[in-house]
Chains A and B, each alone.
Chain A
Amino acid sequence: MFNLINPSRIFYWIEKLINFINSIFFVILIIALTFALILSPPDYLQGDSVRIMYVHVPSAWIGLASFTGIALFSILNFIFKIKNLNLVSKSIAPIGLLFTCLAIITGSLWGQPTWGTWWVWDARITSMVVLLIFYILFILSHKLIEQESKANKVSNLIAIIGLINIPIIRFSVDWWNTLHQPSSIKLDGTSSIHPSMLLPLMLMLLVLLLYCALILLMKYKTEIIRIKKKNIKRI
């Protein structure tokens, strides 16, 4: 099965996928932005600052999902020693960091007009900052530790420990009193967002996911090139 992911053949597929995403990305981006900025209505309470949500919510989701992915890959890698997974999680990490930062920054920008403050230390926001720290630790462990096998071990451990934080972030708004509102879209699929606002939200999610896929593929390609340079024939 893992023959499929052999460096010489995967290049061809990565190139093809990157080209495909590039060809549709800007079209979908323009459609999503039109819906998010022009066609969707303002909120009855927040007015136009509701539009920040269209970036904030998908960013937070991607930040959480990326870390969950990294942690699951780390567990698999720890048990079965599949080295390829290290490359994948190494490529996901910067994306997750970027979107976690984005979620925190856009949240702060939204908090000022809505709550009346840029920053509070409530459970949701604090646990998001903890997630940010875990991302930074994960990336630093790859940058600072020279020996690759050691770096992989340390980063895997960081990811597995950080996995505990994910359900805490998700349920922080239900378990404790927080200033942050509870989730609008529940796990069972019901949503308290009006359909005219849900559509741009989902479109923006699609755009950001495509962007993630693009960056992931490019990062993954770079990692493979780095390995090829070391004259290792297979991963």
Chain B
Amino acid sequence: MLTKKVKKRVSFLSLLLISLVLAVFFILKSLTSNILYFKSPTDIQLSQDIVSKKKIRVGGMVKKDSININNEEIKFIITDLKNEIFVSYRGTVPNLFSEGKGVVAEGTLKDKSFFIADRILAKHDEKYMPPELKDLMKKNAK
């Protein structure tokens, strides 16, 4: 079964695959900043060149007890547990937007700790459970 032709094909194919993997790896590596759907507050703190007019997305968790709604304006804090950023937003939020849950805000930075959003997306985590169980967990936590 392992004739000369077969061996030749195997080596050709493995070369092709290895070069493909390498090519894709380097392409993805150089595009990382574009592939990231959102930046974390820490990324923003660390970045040097911030163009304030450019639209970016910031993602993280909505900090507990930070949501403040008045005059149709919603203010809250996005945190990644290391750094925080204030977000101000006018408009409707998705149903799943709540404290302690993931969120992605799209808009512009005013400075490194203040963000003006014009779109809010809720990020859902990978946990699925029935409501009774959630109540039970809350009770146990108390």
Given A41-B132, A117-B121, A123:B35 Cβ within 8 A: yes
Q: Which residues of A contact B133 (CB under 8 A)?
A: 44, 194
Which B-chain residue is minimally distant from A173 (CB atoms)? B126
Is B39 on the interface with A (CB-CB < 8 A)?
A: yes
Contact check, B94 vs A184: say whether CB atoms are below 8 A apart: no
Q: Which residues of B contact A123 (CB under 8 A)?
A: 35, 37
B87 to nearest A CB, angstroms?
15
Given A123-B37, A160-B13, A176-B32, A194:B128 Cβ within 8 A: yes
Is B16 on the interface with A (CB-CB < 8 A)?
A: yes
Proximity bits, A176-219, B CB within 8 Å = 1, else 0: 11110111100000001110110000000000000000000000
CA distance A177 to B1 in the complex (A): 47
Contact check, A116 vs B120: say whether CB atoms are below 8 A apart: yes
Is B10 on the interface with A (CB-CB < 8 A)?
A: yes
Contact check, A177 vs B59: say whether CB atoms are below 8 A apart: yes
Q: Which residues of A contact B121 (CB under 8 A)?
A: 115-117, 120, 179
The size of the chain B interface, using a CB distance under 8 A, is: 42
CA distance A123 to B37 in the complex (A): 7
Q: Which residues of B contact A11 (CB under 8 A)?
A: none
Q: Which residues of A contact B120 (CB under 8 A)?
A: 116
Contact check, A78 vs B24: say whether CB atoms are below 8 A apart: no
The size of the chain A interface, using a CB distance under 8 A, is: 39
Contact check, B13 vs A79: say whether CB atoms are below 8 A apart: yes
A4 to nearest B CB, angstroms?
17
List B105-134 residues whose CB lies under 8 Å from chain A: 119-134
Contact check, A179 vs B128: say whether CB atoms are below 8 A apart: no
Is B141 on the interface with A (CB-CB < 8 A)?
A: no
Could you say which of A79, A116, A194 contacts B94, with CB atoms under 8 Å apart?
A116
Is B20 on the interface with A (CB-CB < 8 A)?
A: yes
Is A122 on the interface with B (CB-CB < 8 A)?
A: yes
Contact check, A45 vs B96: say whether CB atoms are below 8 A apart: yes
Contact check, A79 vs B6: say whether CB atoms are below 8 A apart: yes
CA distance A79 to B17 in the complex (A): 14
Given A78-B9, A164-B21, A197:B35 Cβ within 8 A: no
CA distance A9 to B93 in the complex (A): 61
Q: Which residues of B contact A183 (CB under 8 A)?
A: 126
Is A137 on the interface with B (CB-CB < 8 A)?
A: no
B119 to nearest A CB, angstroms?
8
Q: Could you name 16 residue pairs across A and B whose Cβ atoms are closer than 8 Å?
A: A43-B128, A44-B129, A78-B13, A80-B6, A121-B37, A163-B17, A176-B35, A177-B40, A177-B59, A179-B121, A181-B123, A183-B126, A184-B128, A192-B128, A194-B128, A197-B129
- Other than the given A43-B129, A116-B93, 15 more pairs (CB < 8 A) read A42-B130, A46-B124, A79-B10, A79-B13, A114-B94, A114-B124, A115-B121, A116-B120, A123-B35, A160-B17, A177-B40, A179-B121, A181-B125, A182-B125, A194-B128
